[in-house]
Structure 1
Amino acid sequence: MSAPRGWAWGAMDAWPAWGRWTAALLAGIAMAADFWLLTQQAVLPRLIGLAVFAATLMFMMRIGQAIRRERCRPADRRYMREFLPAMLTYMVVMLYLWPLQKGMPPGALKLLLVLSPMLPIGWAIVACVRYVLAGDEMERQQHLDAIAISASIISMVSMALGFLCAARLLVLDGGLVLLFVYPSLCVVYGVVRAFLVMRARRE
């Protein structure tokens, strides 16, 4: 017997609110377990982690649309086809290639290896830009508002951390902080855009 239409994968936006939020919670738990697998030194847990990461990331992208009550459109499927391989490539580079630079002497080869994660990150950014440009005028405005608000929030947090470090009330690794700027911007942007979409639907 087939599942009711309301509970079908393709109709996730029609799920009841508790079902959508429960799915989001389970996806978050799976992603946390996935990062634990990726931190293991053995090869098998890391490979399992990469597979779980791919499946969970795709599911999180879809459940994010469902929470915003958006159906999966051709532009969304194209975005998943472009963004997901970019993120998988980034994870492979960071797990297996980037650590090799630690034992290398300074030089051009080390510089290329150190900057190698920027290639999949650039690929992911291009996918994001193509996705934004595929939207209508209202969607583009929501993207613009979300990126402006999230950039302001991250800038304020960065300034606050800077003042705390300058006063020696907090000690942070500058390189690590810089590495977290873009992921933090992406997370805050996603939350802000979801809020803007849901607010527009209530109006």
Structure 2
Amino acid sequence: MTDHAYDLAALREATDRLLSATEKLDDAALAEPSRLPGWSRGHVVAHLSRNADALANVLRGRPMYADSETRDRDIERDAPRPQAEQLADLAASADRFLAAAAVPADWSRTVELRNGVTDAASRVPFRRRGEVELHHVDLGVGYELEDLPDEFTAREIDFLAERFTGHPAVVPSGLADHTGRTWTTGGGAEGGSVVVRGTASDLLGWLSGRRDGSALAVEGGALPALPPL
């Protein structure tokens, strides 16, 4: 069962790490490319700020974003701001999310995210934590998938494996990391099943589209091509 209080505490720690890293970047570094195609580091930080506000909207029962165009436009607007503005916004928006999460509420209620996706309110803090942790890696400032807390990595693999379960483009796939933990995903595509083995970091990198899977071992066929998240 999801423990939203635990996830909120872990989110605070992840956010502190992100703020510390962003504080060390100057205007020129923020303008440099991130690891996400077409996005500068400034785009990543701007997205994280607007995502905090969007998920606060979700907790308040409001639409996550007005629409996709507004989301994209806001990121483009905020991406080139000076570092001081970016850092202040990142911290303030994180505080606004935590303030929304601090309001007494029924954490078992169903909330709506983007594109009609629904989830339990109790999972929203972990969704935000995933944004903070993975996009910290995307900044390309020395924080790697291997630096993520092991507990987070295992749960994020769980989350992404669940997301691809039954997907019509993904064959039945078993996943196993170097510690013996296992997951299943796919199952909607025709063809034989495969087993994908590797470190938890490499499995997460592949599932999240941040690594090409070349470090993974595959039994029973080729490495499945995963659709975009």
Name whichever structure is richer in helix by fraction. Answer: 1
TM-score normalised by length of structure 2? 0.31
TM-score normalised by length of structure 1? 0.33
Larger radius of gyration: 1
Name whichever structure is richer in strand by fraction. Answer: 2
